[in-house]
Structure 1
Amino acid sequence: MRTFVSATKFFLKSGVKGPGYLEIVDGKFGEYFSNLPEEEVTLIDHSDKWIAPGLVDTHIHGYMNHDVMDNDAEGIKVMSEALLACGVTSFLPTTLTSSKKLLKEVAATVGSVQKEVTGAKIQGIYFEGPFFTEEYKGAQNPSYFGDPDIETFHEWQEASGGIIKKIALAPEREGVKKFVEQVTSESVVVSLGHSNGTLEDAAEAVEAGASVFVHAFNGMRGLNHREPGMVGALLSLRDVFSELICDGHHVHPSAASILMEKAGHDHVALITDCMMAGGMPDGDYILGEFPVVVKEGTARMQEGNLAGSILKLKEAIKNVVDWGLATPEQAVMMASLVPAISCKLDDVCGMIKKGRDADFIVLNPDMTLEATYLDGKQRYAISK
């Protein structure tokens, strides 16, 4: 018997359609139909809801009291399961600046557990650092900073089993151009951030192949009329993507609006930059090697600087709609297809497409999450 999902709207790559029916075949997406076939079928009824691709979080350090840098396979499995309640069906576990040895061990651990997780799917690893500069270190430990080193990166990549998909660096470091050219030739995405770089520094790195800016506006030299800096670069350079944290604390909605208007919604990737306190009560936590206090919706270091976030990606898509910055269709795109494209993952996630794993979410018209499906099976539903 054929199985169909019914809904008022479907957020397909070609646009929003509905009301209609989407076939699920052996855990994969099938065809979309405006009308049900005239035969007996199994119907998954979400007729007053919206169906969207599963969300893709390409920058997330931790969740539910676990951190990628804990180097704990079981903790990563907990993260994977818990992220389904955030609408996330694919993610890139994200490292922090640390010793070369620990980063190698973490890469190996994530690589070993990639196929074992049973919740949100690990689509690769994001190395955030350690090739940064101290002026905008954020919650990164500057004692481990250094210039890009291709041999060290290859050690990490080998340890991971070849699944490092993205690495962030500061474009003003020595040897960036050669490093970027090499790793991008190996299909690794380079993002730019935690940087006091100039527009010229960023442009040179982009010419070499860098294509993403780390958490736009945060951890980077701001816009100045005499030196546009990193913010000027992400607003003016073409064919680049910008990560954006829309929790209402990291970036003012007006600044987020400027970025979306200038770059286009199709070049802004909503991310969380979530740390271990995500999904947990207020209190004291650790990010990397630093103590962090979580209260009033923020995670801050002792000196008051923001230290990652406790944002859920399902909240980000609701926020940008509630703030009037995006349509529901654009919001979903910025948290699914755009992150996937920006990290070269759109061949496996980020859209509803025939033959792909049927990873999708069910949204209410107010953009709240109703349910999450993985491989065509409901794995999370809001408690009634």
Structure 2
Amino acid sequence: MDYIIKASRFLLENGERTDSYLAIKDHKFAGFVDEVPNGVEIKDWGDSIVAPGLFDTHIHGIARFDIMDGTQEAVRNISEEIAKIGVTRFLPTTLTSSRADLEKAIIAVRQAVVEGLPGAVSEGIFLEGPYFTEKHKGAQNPSYFTDPSLKEFEHWQELAEGSIVKIALAPEREGAEQFIQTVTNSGVLASIAHTDASYTCCVDAVEAGARNFVHLFNGMSGLHHREPGVAGAALTLADTYAEIICDGFHVHPEVASMAYQLKGNKLQLITDCMRAGLMPDGKYHLGEFPVVMQDGVARTETGSLAGSTLRLMDGVQNLSQWTGKNLSEIWHLGSLSPAKSLNKDKQLGSIQSGKYADYVVLSPSMEVIITAVNGEIVYEK
């Protein structure tokens, strides 16, 4: 279906465009037009804002459902719910768990994707674990931690029919460097997480192919003036991306602002959202761990943060406010930067001719009115 969008503001890679007409053709953006051809439908959204669809590359669940439920229903519901809050692409994210539960989740994601998702589109599976270190385990279950195994990963990739696109591990684990090199060569994004590695160890991992640091400052050795640690590596190593959770709890606003100053567009906004997202305070589970959410913050019984309940759009607005940067600049940290981290920016992440027409229509008060994937409206308020 071909049509033209009219709106008061469009958030673009390099600033904004106002009071314009944007063409959608063959499910892709087809550029701005000065004149509307006869017979072409115009979707006039008045004083609204049109922004690129958000891309959450690290999300476990939302609205009572979790990827580790291991059901197609969970995957479909997550897809549908996040589309309502402006997300058009996501990576269904697993947790460290038993081999049986992990494989069940992988198969469920793949089957749900093959049958079709109702909202946001899966761009592949993110395995968060199980190759981690206990000292910075967070809400990951150390009972299942182990050294990286290429044979095991290849089996999981076979179950996923090649759809695993990202895996997180601690680079100090035995065999990690060879593992990173091999999965990177196969096109998988190797990421550093839940680790007590030294700065030098991280440098070696990056030289082997690792290009991403998971939830910056959380689940990693911190920055010290005599040992930069994982946080220092994430902030200073060029050509690496760093995820950040901008809910104000995981990272202090001033530290998040500092991270943006250092990383620029290689900082990527994520949610790390779990099943309590969009739900009232109460008792939930993250994997095998009971979790209590109070005042919107989810913690395990030991007090560790257990993912988040953040909406990605709120993370965008928070960082925009904390840094004083305009909305367009920060918005792309939640759309284009995630796409770039996965080498998908030629197809996704911004309003640009030839890219898939994933977009969000926002009211002047930043409420999601419309979400479209490939030019097709999947949510309308």
Q: Same fold by TM (over 0.5)?
A: yes
> C-alpha distance in 2, partners of 1:26/1:369?
24
Q: Judge conservation of contact 1:318–1:367 (CA < 8 Å) in 2.
A: no
Q: Judge conservation of contact 1:59–1:273 (CA < 8 Å) in 2.
A: yes
SS in 1 for 2:46: strand
User: What is the CA distance between 1:205 and its match in structure 2?
Assistant: 0.2
Q: Judge conservation of contact 2:257–2:322 (CA < 8 Å) in 1.
A: no
**Larger deviation, residues 39-48 vs 187-196:** 39-48
**Larger deviation, residues 20-29 vs 286-295:** 20-29
User: What is the CA distance between 1:278 and its match in structure 2?
Assistant: 0.8
User: What is the CA distance between 1:331 and its match in structure 2?
Assistant: 1.7
Q: Judge conservation of contact 1:348–1:356 (CA < 8 Å) in 2.
A: yes
Q: Give 2:241's aligned residue.
A: 241
Q: Judge conservation of contact 1:135–1:196 (CA < 8 Å) in 2.
A: yes
Q: Give 2:335's aligned residue.
A: 336
User: What is the CA distance between 1:48 and its match in structure 2?
Assistant: 1.3
Aligned pairs (5 A) from 1:50-89: 50-89=49-88
Q: Judge conservation of contact 1:67–1:276 (CA < 8 Å) in 2.
A: yes
Q: Judge conservation of contact 1:274–1:311 (CA < 8 Å) in 2.
A: yes
Q: Which amino acid aligns with 2:149?
A: D
User: What is the CA distance between 1:47 and its match in structure 2?
Assistant: 3.1
Q: Judge conservation of contact 1:54–1:90 (CA < 8 Å) in 2.
A: yes
Establish whether residue 304 from structure 1 lines up as the match of residue 293 from structure 2: no
Q: Give 1:352's aligned residue.
A: 351
Aligned pairs (5 A) from 1:1-384: 3-33=3-33, 35-37=34-36, 39-115=38-114, 116-264=116-264, 266-382=265-381
- Show structure 2 runs of 5+ residues with no match: none
> C-alpha distance in 2, partners of 1:243/1:325?
20
Q: Which amino acid aligns with 2:223?
A: L
Q: Which amino acid aligns with 2:163?
A: I
**Larger deviation, residues 345-354 vs 74-83:** 345-354
Q: Which amino acid aligns with 1:171?
A: P
Q: What do residues 9-61 of structure 1 show as CA deviations (whole Å, max 9, x unaligned)?
A: 2223454223211112243322212x233635421112312211110000000
- Show structure 1 runs of 5+ residues with no match: none
SS in 1 for 2:201: helix
SS in 2 for 1:148: coil
Q: Which amino acid aligns with 2:35?
A: L
User: What is the CA distance between 1:2 and its match in structure 2?
Assistant: 5.9
Q: Which amino acid aligns with 2:272?
A: D
SS in 2 for 1:47: coil
Q: What do residues 238-283 of structure 1 show as CA deviations (whole Å, max 9, x unaligned)?
A: 111000000111100100011100111x101100000011111111
Alpha-carbon distance change, 381 to 320 in structure 1, aligned in 2, over 3 angstroms: farther
Q: What do residues 148-194 of structure 1 show as CA deviations (whole Å, max 9, x unaligned)?
A: 11110000001001010100011111111111110000000011011
Q: Judge conservation of contact 2:257–2:319 (CA < 8 Å) in 1.
A: no
Seq. identity, %? 46
SS in 1 for 2:45: strand
After TM superposition, the score normalised by the length of structure 1 is: 0.95
Q: Judge conservation of contact 2:13–2:328 (CA < 8 Å) in 1.
A: no
Q: Judge conservation of contact 1:123–1:345 (CA < 8 Å) in 2.
A: no
> C-alpha distance in 1, partners of 2:187/2:243?
19
Q: What do residues 81-106 of structure 1 show as CA deviations (whole Å, max 9, x unaligned)?
A: 11111100000000000122322222
SS in 1 for 2:48: strand
Q: Judge conservation of contact 2:221–2:230 (CA < 8 Å) in 1.
A: yes
SS in 2 for 1:103: helix
User: What is the CA distance between 1:332 and its match in structure 2?
Assistant: 1.2
> C-alpha distance in 1, partners of 2:335/2:57?
10
Q: Judge conservation of contact 1:58–1:343 (CA < 8 Å) in 2.
A: no
> C-alpha distance in 1, partners of 2:112/2:236?
39
Q: Which amino acid aligns with 2:73?
A: E
SS in 2 for 1:232: helix
> C-alpha distance in 1, partners of 2:289/2:146?
19
After TM superposition, the score normalised by the length of structure 2 is: 0.96
Q: Judge conservation of contact 1:131–1:148 (CA < 8 Å) in 2.
A: yes
> C-alpha distance in 1, partners of 2:2/2:179?
51
Q: Judge conservation of contact 2:60–2:272 (CA < 8 Å) in 1.
A: yes
Q: Which amino acid aligns with 1:75?
A: A
> C-alpha distance in 2, partners of 1:10/1:328?
11
Alpha-carbon distance change, 12 to 229 in structure 1, aligned in 2, over 3 angstroms: same
SS in 2 for 1:333: helix
Q: Judge conservation of contact 2:119–2:379 (CA < 8 Å) in 1.
A: no
**Larger deviation, residues 36-45 vs 103-112:** 36-45
Q: Which amino acid aligns with 1:304?
A: G
RMSD (Å) for aligned C-alpha atoms:
1.6
SS in 1 for 2:205: helix
Q: Judge conservation of contact 2:12–2:328 (CA < 8 Å) in 1.
A: no
Q: Judge conservation of contact 2:14–2:329 (CA < 8 Å) in 1.
A: no
